[in-house]
Chain A
Amino acid sequence: MRRPGLFAAQLVFTLLVAAFLAVPIAMSIVAGFTQNFFFGVASGLTTRWVAEVWTRYGDTVLFSLAIAFFCLAINLVIGIPAAYVLAKRRNTVTRMFEELIVLPVAVPGLATALALVMVYGRFGDFRTSGAFILVGHVVYTLPFMVRSVLAVLSSIDLRLLEEGAASLGAGFWQKIFTIALPNAMPGILAGSLMVVTLSIGEFNLTLLLSTPLTQTMPVGLAVAYTNSRLELGSAYTLLFFVIIIPLLVALQLWGNPSRARKARPLLAEGDER
């Protein structure tokens, strides 16, 4: 039925697009292991760049992981309860709140960062601590956790289930821990993956919030790209890929719970550039 010529043309085009995205990734991985990239792989393979990156920038990797960990912890503590409330009470006020918390994603991170620096920049200890970066990451990632949990809670009949539990004598907290939380698990998992992935890759907000002593991986990468030789930048990128690619694969597997198709387009909205 389908014309084979058309199929082949579309396939070749799509393969070229995939190559456009994949070839630079592969090149940077190879360059990270190459003695001298200008002379190609023939100059020999080495792990010295990776080792050098680890001694020079290893602390940015650990710092990024710590920020992502605390960002996730705060999201779990404040985001899940918020999503539960939004699922329980659908009215104008809760809908407005749902709209408002997405604003930090709609507005460029640079504007949010500038705003935070203007208001809190004078509080020296806060300004120079990792907590300054953390609050930026939390307001930026919160809507992803809230909407992902809310999507799952909205896809089940929460009211009916809770009424059933209440008729059996369950109180307010018992309903949460036996009905809402177990049902929300796929949304919590998807939201958590999104929060960690976005926090580790965040640059737009982070650059202005960071100080020489509080540098995340993307900020360190930007410095390395401008100041270091290509092989070193490549090895650093490789280190970043090792952390981010498993998260992205996990997101492709579990990032879209409830088939509500809310989780993935939301990530596509993320202003990550």
Chain B
Amino acid sequence: MAAHDDTAGRQDNIWLLLLITPAIVVFLAFWLLPIGKLIVLGGSGEHGLATYFDVLVNSRYLTVLLITAALAAGVTVVTLLISIVSGVFLARSDFFGRSVLVAILTLPLAFPGVVIGFMVIMLGGRQGLIGSLTNWATGNRLVFAYTFTGLFVGYVYFSIPRVILTVMASAEKLDVGLEEAAKSLGASEWRVFSDVVIPGLMPALMSSGAICFATAMGAFGTAFTLNVGIPVLPMLIYTEFTLNANIAVAAALSVILGLMTWLVLAGARSFAGNTVAAAA
């Protein structure tokens, strides 16, 4: 009997290996191998592996890298603040039309960046809503779509749905008893919020904030549509590759960008895991 189980188990293992092989082959051939080649190419410029170093000390590339990181950080902070207010509110209240509101707030989740860019043009372009409103109110047409502000607005636009979903899910799981206890001990509404609600939301804020930051770092479509004067890192990679044919630099920059976003996401996941474990 045991011997029979063994052969059956071995037979199963062979079948299982065959079942997962296509996925492994596709992943190796069309992602891991190409990315490996990209890493090698990034180190194949005039200065070899030092290309990575050169790129990081080159003031033009470094400036773009810092601008992109600052933009992503600013977008993350603003999106988190908006999502905390609206996410906690929506998770805790029940009123007519609430589900419609939630649906609207999560609708743009899978809009591509190019379409988000067009939404910014609708708001802040030459024929945009804000322009018409300011023209009517002050006689001056405010056009911001093709500036840094427009880029910022677009990034916040696509960040809100993903962050608000996570904050809402986390707020629903908060223990209201803790807040009642704090209140009964005389804590003000604000103290309850800052000392009980925010710490409870912290794992969700860290992980969704990291996702927001990483996505903003790698965002390409919105910047491509708005094509503002200030280049962000993905736009720089695109122009280095297509216009300047500077393949080594484009490769090195994309490896650096990919490494940054991956590290931020991995860090957030381990942080979220640790706090969950600590809370349990």
A residues contacting B by CB (< 8 A) are 2-3, 6-7, 10-11, 13-15, 17-18, 20-25, 27-28, 31, 37-38, 74, 77-79, 81-82, 84-86, 88-89, 97, 100-101, 103-104, 106-112, 114-116, 118-120, 135-136, 138-139, 142, 146, 172, 197-198, 201-204, 207-208, 218, 221-222, 225-226, 230, 233-234, 237, 240, 244-245, 247-249, 251-252, 261, 264-265, 267-273
Contacts and interface: CB of A to CB of B under 8 A. Distances in A.
A225 B38 contact: no
Interface in B202-238: 208, 211, 214-222, 224-225, 227, 234, 237-238
B109 interface: yes
Given A108-B254, A139-B26, A204 B166 contact: no
A158 B160 CA distance: 37
Contacts of B37: 115, 118-119
Interface of B: 11-12, 15-17, 19-20, 22-24, 26-27, 30-35, 37-38, 41, 82, 85-86, 89-90, 93, 95, 101, 103-123, 125, 127, 129, 155, 157-158, 160-163, 165-166, 169, 189, 208, 211, 214-222, 224-225, 227, 234, 237-238, 241, 247, 250-251, 254-255, 257-258, 261-262, 265-266
A74 B247 CA distance: 31
Contacts of B208: 268
Contacts of B33: 119
13 contacts: A18-B101, A27-B122, A28-B119, A108-B234, A110-B238, A115-B38, A118-B251, A139-B26, A139-B30, A201-B111, A218-B112, A225-B114, A270-B110
B129 A23 contact: yes
Contact of A265 (B30, B155, B166): B166
Given A108-B261, A142-B23, A118 B247 contact: yes
Q: Which 3 A-B pairs have the closest CB atoms?
A: A108-B218, A115-B34, A273-B219
A77 B22 contact: yes
Nearest to A268: B162
A5 B137 CA distance: 29
A185 B208 CA distance: 29
A234 B85 CA distance: 32
A251 B165 CA distance: 14
A139 B23 CA distance: 9
Contacts, number: 274
Nearest to A244: B110
A85 B21 CA distance: 10
A204 B217 CA distance: 13
Most B CB within 10 A of own CB, among A77, A115, A247: A115
Give the interface SS of chain A, mostly helix, strand, loop or mixed: helix
Given A14-B101, A86-B20, A118-B34, 14 more contacts: A24-B123, A31-B122, A77-B22, A82-B20, A101-B23, A103-B35, A107-B35, A114-B250, A118-B247, A218-B112, A237-B118, A265-B169, A268-B109, A272-B110
Contacts of A218: 112, 114-115, 221
B227 A226 contact: yes
A87 B125 CA distance: 50
A82 B32 CA distance: 17
B156 to A, nearest CB: 8
A18 B100 CA distance: 10
Given A23-B129, A25-B119, A222-B225, A120 B112 contact: no
Nearest to B255: A111
A207 B114 CA distance: 11
A171 to B, nearest CB: 9
A114 B237 contact: yes
Nearest to B263: A106
